[in-house]
Structure 1
Amino acid sequence: MASTDWMFLLLPLVIGAFSEWVQLSDAARITFGSCAPQESEERGQCIHITSCPFLAELLTTEPKTPAQRLLLSKSQCGVDNRAEGLLNSTLVCCPRSKRIDSEDTAESTHLPGGRDEEQPGNVLPGNDVCGFLFADRIFGGTNTSIWEFPWMVLLQYRKANATSSSAFTFHCGGTLLNSRYVLTAGHCLANQKLEQAGVVLHSVRLGEWDTRTDPDCATQMNGQRICAPNHIDIEVEKGIVHEQYVPNSVDQQNDIALVRLRRSVSYTDYVRPICLPTDDLIRNQFVDYGMDVAGWGLTESRQPSPTKLKVAMKVVNRTICQEKYSSFKVKLYDSQLCAGGMKGMDTCEGDSGGPLMVSISTGGRDVFHIAGITSYGTKQCGIGGWPGVYTRTGAFIDWIQQRLEA
C-alpha cells in the first residue's frame, strides 16, 4: 500500500446531555473488545453506553461536575455507526461488573438473530449483516482503525514439505463473502512465480490488523486502550479459479477466484463479510466514484506493511485507462475497472486479491460493497497518471453464486 500522505484527521467523539432514555435491545449483548476502564483495576468491555447504566446515568445527569464530564469523555472507546442517534451509537469502556448481562464476558460480538451461529456456505448474507463499519473513522491518510474493514483477510502460503512457522508467508489479500468463502484474484492461486518458489496456499487469516502482535491492541482517540480478539487462521479446503483465466496473459481477464474454508467462521465485529454488488450496482462502472482500497502490501520502503493500511481513490474512465495501457499492448475489458493514478497513492505488491470498496447509503446507513478485486498495475507502484486495474466484481456475480456450496 503505497502512499506519501501519512497525515490523518480523527473524527472527534462528543458526548452531550440527553433528556430521553433509550430502550435496551439486542445491542445490549454486543461487545467490541476488551479495554481498561478509567479509575478501575477491573477489566472492561467496549459496549454501547445504553448497556452500561453506570455511565448512562452520568450521561443524563445535569449539571455534571468536571470530574463526571472527564470520566465520560475518557470512557469512550468508539462509535457504532450502524445505530441511529448519538446515544445509541456511542461506545464506552464499561467495567464488567457494571454492565448489563455482565455474565456474558465473551470477547466476540453476539449478533442479533442468531447470526453468530454456523451459516451454510451457499448463502450470502443480506445487507443487514454485511458491509457495516463502526467506530472512529479515520479520514485521509492511510492508517486504519483496529476494527476497520473487518472483511479483509490475508492468504497464507507454505513452502512445500516445510513444517516450521517460518515456512509461512503472506502473498495476497482477499475478502470474506460469507461463512465459508473468500473472494480473491485468480493470480493469487494460479501463479507461476509462486509455483517456482515452491509455495502453496495453506490457510486464510481473519481478524488481523497488525501482523506483529496477537491479540492486536490500539489506543483510541480518547486515550483508552482496546484489544481485539486473537486473529483466526483457517485452513483452505479448496481454491476455485475462473475457468477462463489465463495466468500468463498480459490483460489478466477473468482474474478472479474463490477460496473455500475448511470450516465455517462465526461473524464478529472484527470478522464480518462485505456485501456483493446489488442488482442496481452490477452493471455500474462507478466512474468518478470515490473508493477505498486496503491491505498489507509494500509501502514506500519496499517492505510489506505490518498493519492494515488504506488509500482513497477514484474510479477512472476505462477509455482513458486503455490509452495508458495500450503502450504495453494490454486490452481492457468490460469486466475490469481502473482506479487511482495519483502519484504515491496506489495498491502495490502484496495487495493483490484485496477489495476495491464502495460505500453506498442503504436504509440510512453506509454499507460497503466490493466493486473490484486488485489485479495489476505498473511494476513501480504509485506512478502519477497510471491507474491500477481491478477485476469488476459485478460482472461475476452469477459465477460466484453458482460455485458456492453448503
Structure 2
Amino acid sequence: MASTEWNFLVLLMVIMAFSEWVQHSDAAQITFGSCTPQESDERGQCIHITSCPFLAELLATEPQTPAQLLLLSKSQCGLDNRAEGQLNSTLVCCPRSKRIDVEEPEPSHLPGNDQQPGNVLPGNDVCGFHFADRIFGGTNTSIWEFSWMVLLQYRKLDVNKSTSSNEYTFNCGGTLLNPLYVLTAGHCLANRKLEKVGVVLHSVRLGEWDTRTDPDCTTHMNGQRICAPSHIDIEVEKGIVHDQYVPNSVDQQNDIALVRLRRSVSYTDYVRPICLPTGDLIQNNFVDYSMDVAGWGLTENRQPSPTKLKLTVNVMNRTNCQLKYTSFKVKLYESQLCAGGMAGMDTCDGDSGGPLMVSISTGGRDVFYIAGITSYGTKQCGLGGWPGVYTRTGAFIDWIQQKLEA
C-alpha cells in the first residue's frame, strides 16, 4: 500500500475518533521538534494534533475536500505510541501561530524529572517508552528512536600518554538507566586495546542521531522536515567495572560496567532511560525472542556509521551457541545470551556496550527493557551462523542496584 494511501486511512480513522477527543491530555503540551508546515514560510512544531486547532478543526469538518485531506496527510509528522488512542497519538506539523498558546514544558517538568537520587531507578511509567515513526521502516532509525542510547566519548592522550589532547573518538555505546548512570560493557572501560591506542573515557553523549550534524534533522516521505534539539555531552565522574571481570579474557564473563555522570541529565523526548528487567524477566533467557540492537558501529564498508542504525536479531539457545564457540575454546555462562547469526547482519566494533532490547506489553503499552549488553563476537562481523554474545542483564540486577549511589 502506498504511503499516501496509508496516511489517508490513518486520518480517516482519526476523524471517526474525533468525538472522543479529550483536551486535558498532558501529552498535548509536548513538542517533538521543529518543522516546516506545508504551504507556509512560517516555522512550525511537530506536536499532537489536539494541540493544533487549525488542523483539528479540519478533522472535524465533514466532508473534507480533497485539498483538505491532502493537507492533513502531508501535515502528519509522526505517531506517538505512548499516547492512548489513534487521535491522541497523531502528530502534525503545526504553524507556530496556529497552535494552542501553551509554553513548551521545561525538561524539569517532564515525567520522571523530579531530580531523583542516583540510587533510584525509574518505574515503567517513565522508562522504556519508545517513540518512533511507525509508518516508514528500514534499517535507519528515526531521530526519536531508542532515546536511551548513548555514545561513550574517549579523549586521546598525547604522544607520551601523560596528558590529554583535544581529539575525541566514539569507541563504545551505552544505555541510560537514570539521571546519573549509564550501563555499558566492562571492556569499554577496562581494555588493553584502549590503552594501546591511547584513549581514556571522557564523557557521554546523549540525544544523538547523526554524528555529522547538530542539530539533527530529517525529511519524511511526505515532505515534513523535523529537527531535534542539540545533543548533550556530559563528563564522566567515574567508571565502575564488575569486580570479577577479567579484561581481555577469552570468555568475557561479567562483561558489565556502570558510568556515573558528573551531573544529572534531564529527560526529554530525545533523552529517556530504558527499563531494567523486573519480575519474571530477570530469570528469562529469552530463547527465540526477537530483539532490537542499535548503534553507530562499523558497517559492511568497515567504517563507523554516522547515523544510529538498528537491526532485529533472534536469541539462540545457549547450548547451540556453545557448539559454535567451542572451536575457539570459549565457554558460555548462564549470565550470557547469544543472538543473531544472519549473514551480513550483526553488531560490530563500536557497538560494544550498547543494548540488546526487548519490547514487552505492559499496561497496554509496549515498554522496552534492556535484556543484554553487546559483548563480543567473531573478529569478522556478520559471519553467517555465528551469533553475537551479550551479557545477560537480568543476571546482574543485584550488582547494579548495589553500585548505584545517591
**TM-score band, normalised by shorter chain:** over 0.9
Contact preservation (8 Å) 2:35, 2:227: yes
For these two proteins, the number of residue pairs brought into alignment is 393
Partner of 1:290: 290
**Matched residue, 1:204:** 204
Residue 142 (str. 1) matches residue 144 (str. 2): no
What is the TM-score of this pair, normalised by structure 1? 0.93
Is the CA contact (8 Å cut-off) linking 2:29 and 2:105 kept in structure 1? no
> Which amino acid in structure 2 is aligned with residue 351 of structure 1?
D
Q: Which amino acid aligns with 1:23?
A: V
- Give the C-alpha shift of residue 248 in structure 1: 2.3
Equivalent position of 2:384 in the other structure: 384
How far off its partner does 1:44 sit?
A: 1.2
Is the aligned partner of 1:132 residue 2:129? Answer: yes
Q: SS at 1:177's partner residue?
A: strand
CA distance in 2, matches of 1:358, 1:76: 28
> CA offsets per residue over residues 265-286 of structure 1, 9 Å max, x none?
0111110100001111000000
The structure 2 residue matched to 1:15, chosen from 11, 20, 44, is: 11
Give me the whole-angstrom Cα distance separating, in 1, the residues matched to 2:138 and 2:219: 18
1:28-67 Cα deviation digits (max 9, x unpaired): 2111111111222221111110111111111111011122
Q: 1:75 to 1:358 in 2, by over 3 A?
A: same
Q: 1:352 to 1:384 in 2, by over 3 A?
A: same
* 1:157-236 mapped onto 2 (5 Å cutoff): 157-160=154-157, 161-164=163-166, 167-236=167-236
CA contact (8 A) 2:107 2:266 kept: no
Q: Deviations over 1:172-204 (max 9, x none)?
A: 000000100000000000000111111100000
CA distance in 2, matches of 1:184, 1:344: 24
Q: Give 5+ residue unaligned stretches, structure 1.
A: 1-8
In 2, Cα distance between equivalents of 1:224 and 1:385:
41
Please say if residues 274 and 369 of structure 2, whose CA atoms lie closer than 8 Å, have aligned partners that are also in contact: yes
Note the 1:291-306 alignment, pairs <5 A: 291-306=291-306
Distance 1:50 1:98 in 2: 12
Residue 119 of structure 1 aligns with which residue? 116
Q: Does 1:52 align with 2:48?
A: no
* Cα pair 1:119 1:264 within 8 Å, conserved: no
Structure 1 counterpart of 2:22, which letter?
Q
Where in structure 1 do 4 or more consecutive aligned residues deviate above 6 Å? Answer: 106-109
Specify every segment of 5 or more residues in structure 2 that has no aligned partner in the other structure, as ranges. Answer: 158-162
Cα distance in structure 2, aligned partners of 1:116 and 1:75: 31
Distance in 2 between residues matched to 1:345 and 1:139, nearest whole Å: 20
SS in 1 for 2:40: coil
Aligned equivalents of 2:237, 2:265: Cα separation in 1: 13
Cα distance, 1:367 vs. partner?
0.6
| 1:171 positional shift | 0.3
Q: 2:160 is matched with which residue?
A: none
1:357–1:296 CA distance, 2 compared to 1 (3 A): same
Q: Secondary structure at the match of 2:258?
A: strand
Cα drift, residue 117 of structure 1: 4.1
Give the letter aligned to residue 39 of structure 1.
E
Post-superposition offset of 1:10: 11
Retained in 1: the 8 A contact 2:45–2:93? yes
Q: What displacement does 1:253 show? A: 0.2
- What is the CA–CA distance in structure 2 between the aligned matches of 1:310 and 1:260, rounded to whole Å? 26
Q: Which amino acid aligns with 1:363?
A: G
Aligned-residue identity in percent: 82
Per-residue CA deviations over 1:329-358 (Å, capped at 9, x if unaligned) read 100000000000111110000000000000
Q: Structure 1 or 2: larger helix share?
A: 2
